[in-house]
Amino acid sequence: MTLLLAAFSVYLMAKSAELDIGWIKGEGPGGGAWPFWLAAGMLVCCAVTLLRWWRGITPESRDREAFIGPATAKILVPTVLSIAVMLGLTHVIGIYAAILLFLLFYLRFMGRHGWALSLGLSLSAPVATFFFFEAALRILLPKGITEPLFYPLYSLIY
């Protein structure tokens, strides 16, 4: 798995480098900067993980049992499916509404947290993400049919 993630990191770094990965004077980071450096960080983590496995430092690296057992699959399958649904909904309802629904499902039903925590985080995370990307970084993310809901927020940042 580490080798697969490392290969994916290298691919993402190469694709990101097709755009400017440096600082653009008067604009901020280039279009490929965030993906490039996040993928570079992921590659470093993969290298550390591989080294720790090779040296047998962790109990997991010495374990000979199945990588994904029945208990893990019980969590992994709904997680992968809910992420796929979130990504599919992004084009229709936008990333912020999709994040809200994903977090609400995952916190409330997968994590079995209370409604107050689930709603609080599900509502605040998309708002914080909106202001981080749209106001601080000036990166527009897809809003789908929910874009009219953002018009009042646009007046705060533009």
Question: Do 75 and 36 sit in the same domain of this protein?
Answer: no
Give 138's pLDDT tier (boundaries 50, 70, 90). confident
Task: Give 24's DSSP letter.
Answer: E
Which amino acid, 124?
Answer: S
Q: Tokens 């690296």 belong to which residue?
A: 61
Cβ neighbours, 10 Å, residue 98: 22
25/75 same-domain check: no
Q: Does one domain contain both 44 and 92? A: no
Kindly compute the dihedral angle of the four CA atoms of residues 11, 14, 18, 19, in this order, to the nearest 10 degrees.
90
More confident: 156 or 128: 128
Same domain, 85 and 25: no
pLDDT digits (tens, 9 = 90+) for 78-90: 999 999 999 999 9
77 and 151 share one domain: yes
Residues 44 and 110 both lie in one domain:
no
The domain total for the chain is 2
